[in-house]
Amino acid sequence: MNSKAKLSKTSNPEPWGKNVLVEFEDRIAWVTMNRPEKRNAISADLALEMSDVIDALEADERCGVLVFTGAGDSWSAGMDLRDYFRATDNAPPAERARVYRANWAWQWRRLLHYPKPTIAMVNGWCFGGAFTPLVACDLAIADEKAVFGLSEINWGIIPAGVVCKAVSKVMNQRDALYYVMTGETFTGKKAARMGLVNEAVPKSKLRKRTVQLAKTLLEKNPTVLRQAKVAFKFVSDMHWEEAADYLMAKSDQAILNDPERGREHAMQQFLDEKSFRPGLGAYRRKR
């Protein structure tokens, strides 16, 4: 056995189980922030573990869609003020940089352009730094009574990390600034009205609706789904000319990389066989 093989054998293939739990069900990976006694506040250990979990799930065939949720009655109470801020304030710069990097890695560097579809299932409290992974997930469904807040102003700090940037992507300026400046809370129902989440549903229907959405995503051509979501997110920061050129290249890439040759089958079924209406549903996939 060469040294490379030894290394992969000794490294833990499933890096979850402590601050993050993962369960698989019908190709949905339920990724649970697991510090309920601290309202799932994001500690350095949680960030490091989550970073590894996200990396591992990218290659895990049991996972076609990731759903991020929280243990207990919270999604996440944001950054752990004791563990992340106070404990690292006087830490050596390299250590401080390491834990901040781990947090940025999972919260947006990886999640924003993650190759698999991601859904935030907001089951309760959602504050401050937790807005970044919330926005970085592709889609979000909330308990209509979940409580959200950009509470940083109440702490005497600004919504940093990239929270301001994240909310500016999905909320309009008036709404975002209102909550950035007042620190008031709002419900899941209001979050849906403002476009911070896609939908708000009663708690009793939250999981069922999330599963339904995940199953819809699992039915799609995964190659094209990946390219579509990544392309959408990248072009929002591009000029029109750049976007047009990039999308043309991305479109070619999706076609070339698609083992199902979906575009070809769809055109055949619509133009030649006249066997489906693309406006009303998907082509028959040949897997």
DSSP code for 129: G
Burial class for 78, CB neighbours closer than 10 Å (0-12, 13-18, 19+): buried
Beta strands in 157-287 (DSSP E): 185-187, 199-201
Smallest separation (angstroms) from ligand ACO to the CB of 83: 7
Establish if 82 lies at the interface with ligand ACO (CB under 6 A): yes
Query: To the nearest 10°, the Cα dihedral for 257, 263, 268, 269?
Result: 120
Establish if 129 lies at the interface with ligand ACO (CB under 6 A): yes
Task: Single out the residue of 52, 138, 143, 152 in contact with ligand ACO (rule: CB under 6 A).
Answer: 152
Compute the distance between CA of residue 190 and CA of residue 147 in angstroms, rounded to an integer: 10
Establish if 155 lies at the interface with ligand ACO (CB under 6 A): yes
Which residues on neighbouring strands pair with residue 21, listed in sequence order? 32
CB atoms within 10 A of CB 198: 16
Q: Please choose, from the candidates 210, 174, 219, 221, the residue with its C-alpha nearest in 3D space to the C-alpha of residue 193.
A: 174
Establish if 125 lies at the interface with ligand ACO (CB under 6 A): yes
Count the residues in the chain: 287
Stretch that binds ligand ACO, among 77-85, 87-95, 170-178, 196-204 (CB under 6 A): 77-85
CB atoms within 10 A of CB 87: 16
Stretch that binds ligand ACO, among 1-9, 57-65, 73-81, 268-276 (CB under 6 A): 73-81
Query: To the nearest 10°, the Cα dihedral for 69, 75, 78, 82?
Result: -100
Smallest separation (angstroms) from ligand ACO to the CB of 234: 26
Establish if 165 lies at the interface with ligand ACO (CB under 6 A): no
Site mask for ligand ACO (CB under 6 A), range 170-209, x = bound: ----------------------------------------
Establish if 226 lies at the interface with ligand ACO (CB under 6 A): no
Task: Single out the residue of 64, 128, 188, 262 in contact with ligand ACO (rule: CB under 6 A).
Answer: 128
Stretch that binds ligand ACO, among 8-16, 72-80, 221-229, 264-272 (CB under 6 A): 72-80
Establish if 133 lies at the interface with ligand ACO (CB under 6 A): no
- Determine contact, residues 121/207, Cβ cutoff 8 Å: yes
Establish if 70 lies at the interface with ligand ACO (CB under 6 A): no
Stretch that binds ligand ACO, among 121-129, 136-144, 234-242, 250-258 (CB under 6 A): 121-129
SS3 sequence, 213-246?
A: HHHHHHHCCHHHHHHHHHHHHHHCCCCHHHHHHH
Task: Single out the residue of 52, 80, 138, 144 in contact with ligand ACO (rule: CB under 6 A).
Answer: 80
Smallest separation (angstroms) from ligand ACO to the CB of 81: 4
Residue closer to ligand ACO by CB (options 15, 149) is: 149
The SS3 call for residue 21 is strand
Binding site for ligand ACO (CB under 6 A): 38-39, 41, 77-82, 125, 127-129, 151-152, 155
